[in-house]
Chain A
Amino acid sequence: MSSMNGSKLVVNGVTKIFKMGSGFSRINITAVKDISLEIDLAKGEIFTLAGESGSGKTTLSRIILGIIEPTYGKVLYRNKNIFAMKRNERRQFIKEVQVVSQNPFEAFNPLKKVESYLFKTAIRFGLARDKKGAIPHVEKALKAVGLSLAEINDRYPNELSGGQLQRVAIARSLITQPSMIVADEPVSMIDASLRMSIINLIKQLNEESKINFIYITHDLATAYYVSHKIAIMLKGEVVELGSIDLLTEPLHPYTELLRTSIPEPDPDKALEAIDKELVISKRNFDSDFACKFADRCPSKMKICEREEPKNYIVNGRIVKCHMYSNKGIKMTNSIQI
């Protein structure tokens, strides 16, 4: 497409404020706050978004996909603002950027057979002329996720198990051979063994076809296994961003908390009960403190209550924490990595 040159996806200072509460008594929820990211599509990156439940991962991904409009900021895909695209540009965008949504039970219309999504995707994006021609494409995609057309043929969403649906959703996103897939917890309902084969598939696609992924997950182990970069989110903000290796030696206290909370598949190493203080003390929708983590931070300082931490560059990553005000380089504007 001539109109879409450039090879970057740029998320520029995106903020999303939801209005909550019904009718006229309402609170505002800042689900995503001033986030900037950049993905070089040509390079082929797997970018993990991890973080607290409710921290705005899904929201951010939906903004990137153009499903919800941000309150402030914009998203540029190959130099085009995705919210101001013309019809054909939008279509091209959809062909190139695909989605796997978080809840597989909601992702398919309960009144339609699931295979229809696969076939339609193949046909509508010109991979095949008709259903018959689409069969190989569909089969291939299904096989990659451990399914076969025979198995899902003629079935409605409620006739498939959760993991199966999730795999169908992944298969669907693969069909157009996109340049980027935004996958929101794509393997959460899949058993360990299959999960690995899918993760391996992602890895392979990334390496061989340079497909970019935005991989949203709580499973940090698999994230570590496949990703190149990671952003840790907390209450709408990115608190730490950098190469995936940051998981091994986190800088931000929250990342640290995450890392230590990962359970191990070993009955002897049963997790100890977590210190309650660390989890809930003040999980309000909007924290009273300037730093969103201040109320449960073990190394909280006075300043954390008053002043919002800036982004500091430390060891090639960005950390949003006062602890690094001396050690790191203060960033003035948006994150650039």
Chain B
Amino acid sequence: MNLLKSYIFPRLVQWVIVILIGTTVTFIIPRFSPVNPVDVVMASLASYQTTDPQAMLKLKESLEDMMGLNENIFVQYFKFWGRLLKGDLGPSLARFPIPVIRVIGNAMPWTISLLLIATILGWLLGMVLGTFAAYYSHKSWSKILQVVIMALYPVPYYVMALILLMIFAYIFPIFPLFGGVGIGLKPSLSLNFILSVIKHGFLPAVSIILVSIGWRFMSQRALTSTLLSSDFIVYARIAGVRNRKILFYLFRNSLLPQATDLALSLGGIFSGALITEVVFSYPGLGQILYSAILQGDYNLVIGISVFSIIGVATGALIIDLLYPFLDPRIRYS
């Protein structure tokens, strides 16, 4: 009870405040963009349509009306919260009047499944390899591993993805060139569908993992080497504690910052992986967010951001609540 009041409650309040601030800022930001969603629609119309100028101007007005952009920004802001609390994110402006929720709903499962797996795998691999590389730092495989991983780290996503594609989808056509699942396959629990999803997601996941492993590896190696000379590790080694246990100690004792990262990145997967999605033509949220930014589609930007904001804030909340578990020395207060 006391714990609830002194530890959990303030953090919940913080969580709410963070979401509030985050959402408000994200609400404001796109409005600074010089790109006006109506103008974007009009620009594309102007280049396609044989409509005359007079008519264009009228159309523009009625569009602005319908999208509610003529209103005062405060009115818009309060309306936005009113809608949001009802779970309604409003219509997409660039795809008017399709509801934002539907746009997101289409892409969300893909993004989540790809990024959840890639993030967790990348994290785990980085952690494990980093710990091993530090523990066995005198071994030559560890040195080679370090250089290889560090060489992969700065390779731009785009280049990495394209190289993977060229090799494994074009020269050796093992994996498909595009998409999240084979053409014509309908979502179902059939083996066929699942295999196809895995096959399509494989290269994107690998490309994300290969690049993201770098930082995890590097930081974990740094944390582990500091730990290695600490007394309790030395003592455990004198006592003949098994190597895997010691590796586990190292892993466990560096968990604090690493788990923080993991929680935040997991919270952040809702904003998608833009470049991977572009190169692999993967049906995720990243591309949608990017084009929404470009098109000044405020509603969509906020819509996606809200998920990401709540996700990251929750990640931060959870990790904050977990800190005392991760490092028992941290006090609740």
Contact = CB atoms under 8 A, between A and B. Distances in A.
A93 to B, nearest CB: 22
Contacts of B324: 22-23
B94 to A, nearest CB: 47
Interface residues of A, number: 6
Contact of B328 (A22, A24, A105): A22
A110 to B, nearest CB: 8
Contacts of A23: 324-325
Contacts of A22: 324-325, 328
B325 to A, nearest CB: 5
Main secondary structure of the interface of A (DSSP, over half): loop
Nearest to B327: A22
A162 to B, nearest CB: 12
B220 to A, nearest CB: 20
A70 to B, nearest CB: 13
A19 B6 CA distance: 13
Interface residues of B, number: 6
Contacts of A19: 3, 332
Contacts of A105: 231
Interface string A16-35: 00010011101000000000
Interface in A84-101: none
Contacts of A24: 3
Nearest to B2: A19
A109 to B, nearest CB: 13
Interface in A70-121: 105
Nearest to B322: A23
Contacts of B332: 19
A24 B3 CA distance: 8
A157 to B, nearest CB: 11
Interface in B230-255: 231
A110 B251 CA distance: 21
Nearest to A24: B3
A26 B328 CA distance: 12
Contacts of A26: 3
Interface in A170-196: none
Nearest to B321: A23
A95 B332 CA distance: 30
A105 B231 CA distance: 10
A105 B235 CA distance: 14
B181 to A, nearest CB: 41
A164 B231 CA distance: 18
Nearest to A111: B226
Contacts of B3: 19, 24, 26
Interface in A210-238: none
Interface string B209-231: 00000000000000000000001
A26 B332 CA distance: 12
A23 B3 CA distance: 10
A238 B231 CA distance: 35
Nearest to B230: A110
A98 to B, nearest CB: 25
A273 B328 CA distance: 38
Nearest to B226: A111
10 contacts: A19-B3, A19-B332, A22-B324, A22-B325, A22-B328, A23-B324, A23-B325, A24-B3, A26-B3, A105-B231
Interface of B: 3, 231, 324-325, 328, 332
Interface of A: 19, 22-24, 26, 105
Given A19-B3, A19-B332, 8 more contacts: A22-B324, A22-B325, A22-B328, A23-B324, A23-B325, A24-B3, A26-B3, A105-B231
